[in-house]
Structure 1
């Protein structure tokens, strides 16, 4: 399979992976043949990338980090609990939902069990084949990323469960924000941005006294927009004043937002988002945690077309577990620009003089 920008697809190509709607239900199944109308519709719905069947890469398999059963259950639970809060008419009213903590605790267990079976796998881009309801899918994605990083960091099961809960509910305060502002298809005014900033404190108030909810999860919601130099919100705390879990969630939150289609911009690819994160090291983000994230994310996803500094062109076929920034590439076009008679693979972790110079996005 190949990982392609939707706008580069042609009628007659077949999907290699399902396209899911905002509830996690398959909208277009694997093997569906794309038509021009379907391609246009996917672009309009915000699906910027898709997996396409391809004879030259038919052996490539990209597994989802969690099962479809878990994803459907998770999105349903998130939507149910968030809508209960959104139905409260007053933003100053923070009534307690005595079942929310228990429901999300069981959900976290399902996610951890799924990810246990994927031990050693790198984080792949999660947004390319989902029609976005941004808040719900974003919450689940951040939880998946955080849980995987908690596992590779050597945290105890109890610590991972708390980190996962904080990640899953980091944006729950947005249920108290005017939805027209959150869905605005363009830049926010200063007044609108100030309103959105309130979601961190709202999230803390919703979670802090919730039964079966770790207090640290509430602090993750409170602190996930704080920054290393004190330039964040809502309190402007910095450095060691920010909990390590919140620091990690802030990085994942930013990364997933950048790699998700928004009404006013296309999604970034992982390597582009990673460059933005590293540009914010020490001012916005903790250096060690950005490095941890980089070392465990597939910066160049399997199936992605690339051009090498040598002039050769091919597709990413294997993520190097030690240096994910230097994957194995299957070469189809030689340095002279001609199609090779027999494709061959180049392990960039062993060919250190060669690097990826371009990613095929069009």
Structure 2
């Protein structure tokens, strides 16, 4: 590593400034200026969906705590301790609440704010933060402890170049996340349309479950599928085999033998009851879930899976404590049933949308891993960057 890289404590480069102590009665569900609380810092970003607001008069009292585009902020207590974010233009106007800190750099010729944003996302920084945060009833860290964190500081031109490289990766992440979000919306809209109106129908009839195509029938779930209880495996759980053990949280282990032959739909019986899972392979289903089976020469299980994911299964909850779903309640669900041919067409359309979402999620995972590797290499000087048409080598 070049001698130009230096070990510096953050306190030599900046001051961490805490937020304003607003009164709880100042907060509104809607208002002029959003308040940045620790709960609004999520996944290296700011999420103001559940933000509280203050009116302009209160915001003016806290004018020294107004944030600007590019500010780097950090959560200093609670479950999100150590999480950081960069203030974006679309987040403004925004004021800083107590227990959230903002980094005020002394001299921008020594430390780039864009570079700082990636330093505080690094595993090295977060590990130092977590060591200091642990110990109380809840995670908590002071401004002084954050300022004592040591970082590696390259020359300013390298800082800017490193930040530019990582920013380009962030742009790819944001674009992929936007594609996923938009495709999820498309899927939701298609499900609502296809599962109630079908494909190409022009004539509809009124039924006890709403308006459906004339050719469709209304059937109770017990008429089109069979529900079987899952079973807790005893002495058959192993590290790996051909048969997964499935619960409402997904894959939870492996069994030496299978309980049910796929395909099937898993629906929670106790605990999580509102997230059906479609399973194609032979597997074991634990006793807190049901397995749904059907004669696929008459009913498409994949179509039924999409219908059940759109149905409010939580409304059938019969327990005041742990959610519970009675088999008879599940059987009593009334289903708008198209022909088998149309069921298959609908499920194929929705499956193609799901595959698009999964492909983009896999892409997002790869890009995140690339960013993680780049940060590890670039922020430590293990890999040097090209600056002013010259490669700075270690």
Structure ranking higher in helix proportion = 1
Scaled to the shorter chain, the TM-score interval is under 0.3
The TM-score normalised by the length of structure 1 is: 0.26
Q: TM-score, normalised by structure 2?
A: 0.24
Which structure has the larger Rg? 2
